[in-house]
Structure 1
Amino acid sequence: MHAWPASEVPALPGQGRDLRIHDTATGGTVTLDPGPVARLYVCGITPYDATHLGHAATYNAFDLVQRVWLDTKRQVQYIQNVTDIDDPLLERAVENGDDWAELAERETALFREDMTALRMLPPEHFVGAVEFIPRIVPMVERLRDMGAAYELEGDVYFSVEADSHFGEVSGLDAETMRLLSAERGGDPERPGKKNPLDPMLWRAAREGEPQWDGASLGPGRPGWHIECVAIALEYLGMTFDVQGGGSDLAFPHHEMGASHAQALTGEHPFAKTYVHAGMVGLDGEKMSKSKGNLVFVSQLRRDDVDPAAIRLALLAHHYRADWEYTDAVLDEAKSRLARWRSAVSRPDGTAAEAVVEEIREALANDLDAPSALAAVDRWAAEQERGEGTDPGAPGLISRAVDALLGVAL
């Protein structure tokens, strides 16, 4: 599976700061200290309804992570998956009368278009779960053979008790885990499981469902969590720098994935840091496919909304905050974009080097994009008053906003 084309990231004078970011697993702020190559895994879409603003907000957050790292002169090894086989995808295909594979391909193509328009930096590897099934099967077999997994009526479950570190990612108590498991794709009430929280590794073939050769597991398809584990271990190995996604992935997805990997390898941790983006709401509820209260990037683009304005609407909110989308949010982003473009179009500008450093410091401080926007707003206001005398300032601000915030002026 191929990703999308990369937009050029302008080089800036000086060097960025190391990123200080909130770690879900510790509940505090940590300073990331990758080597020369920073390793990032972000969980991708299930392609049956892409790309809504909740998706876009999540990928915007981790695009900022990459841009901060690039500004420190590091390389970035970024991996993203596509969950192109899962229950919600199959259910939507039946509901719409679609072929599930065609639906996944169509929605993935639309996602690529949206990411390109929003100038999100592409992953080095953009990997579908289906193409990785031949590598997933041996992992499930190994977990079973080492006693970390067991069979139940043909299905294979992971035993959470096989990992002594289970629970350390989300920090949740067992009852909360059980409730969230039921809400987010688990089956805690199924009789015969050793622990209600045990997640499925391999789903035995059911009539009318797609299936693949599972070798000694029998025909079927993989569970959700093991897909990301297989992809991450293949391209990043253990103890990579950041595992990212929306806050609804902390449990069960990232918790279970960490335990799968740790049981498989005997190493800990799976990822050094767990970073989660907030949820975007509409009409008082979280924006979600199940509720149908979605604002799509593609529809905004069809309505001739400049993608740079969409991106500014996302950047106006701290990545960890839950926030509500309204027309006023987008209107303010459009006005900001117009002010900034007017400001950089002037032949002279007020000194820009300090503004660039403000942007850098804001982003290094737990991706504080609203403070970065405020710094550019102040510079733009000075431009409106005609206070500038530096002919190089507008160009430097334009390059900085592009390089660090992903907004083309």
Structure 2
Amino acid sequence: MTTRSAGETSLPPTAGCVVIGGGVIGVSCAFRLAEAGAVTTGASPRAGGSATRNPRKNAGVLLLERAELGGGSTAKAAGGIRSSFTSPVNVELGLRGLAAYRAFSRDFGTEIDFRRDGYLYLVTDPADVPAFERCAELQREHGVRSHLLDPGEAKKVLPLVETDGVVAALWSPDDAKATPDAVVQGYARAARAHGATLRTGVEVIGIERDGDALTGVVTTAGFVRTGAVVCAAGAWSGRIGELAGLDLPVRPFRRQVVFTGPVPGLPESVPLTIEMPSAFYFHREGPGLAMSFSEDDGVPGFDTRYEPGEWLPRLAELAGRRIPAVLDAGVRTAWAGLYEMTPDRNQIIGESVLLSRFFYATGFSGHGFQMGPATGELIRDLYLRRRPAVDIAELDVRRFEAVDTAPAEHNIV
């Protein structure tokens, strides 16, 4: 057991901006803010300002993480990176993620195992085919090489898969995978190199305000005066919103994943494959597969115990029908993690109109890893009060105030 030095656990008394959350979203935001010199120790942003580099004095960008960097939902992310979304804003954010991760090892000196194995959606309900056709058309309008396949063509893409009951497939060959933890560490090193201060094992337990102005954050390690906060707390964002007197409709829901032993005949390249509408998915993990499907959301909560119960037999049924070779592989390990869900299963990114300089980047509903690079740039631009490169007006939290946001029955976003 190691003991951290006082220099590693002490907090600066003042920060220009406090980023809450050390997953991929938080470290991306911290890096982009620090890189741009966007944050000084004052309450207001000044483009071109320099970050204070002495962590025992004031800080420009201060990131606070209650556990370890990347230890929340990011640690259990599948690592998928795609542009195959159903709305223009998400397609654009996905494309930015693909471009950033493709160049990550060059730009950050960190190998992230970026692989372009593609995404393959297997459609089993004929009524869903027109919607997938529209999705493919939208994606092609943005330069994405998505197109519909017939079942025979889908089997050529992935001979391992059985196509009984499949009526069509959406194939996006340029989508990819990477290693989330490596990305987090790469962003964290770069953020520190640009003067950001990152603290782990520190939980935010209060947010102080004077009317509609932020004045500071209360933590388990003391008080930090600040005039700006970025909520990137993932599944815990609803609680952070409550501390600030704001409603961030982000709720945690458990998701379980099984990892198999070696699968006979497993090809080197396996696209991240999703059957619709069951939402059963699998992707290669070493010599075996990672597999899961989404249960009904049920009651939100922070319980991350793996409980096979009725879930594992249902998973085995789905897997046996679609990839029967996996039935002889056995279960090597399994875990449960948290999805940070919003009512419409799309993220919320913006600045509060009720509390000045309170920014939010959360509620990614399973898509946070692939949108991490773009989100850091968006928060940087919002902080600097300049127009983001992508129009994110529809991601504002106010969309939930008066609109029925129940997700579509077979939503693939």
- Structure 1 and Structure 2 fold alike (TM over 0.5): no
- Normalized per residue, which structure has more strand? 2
- Normalized per residue, which structure has more helix? 1
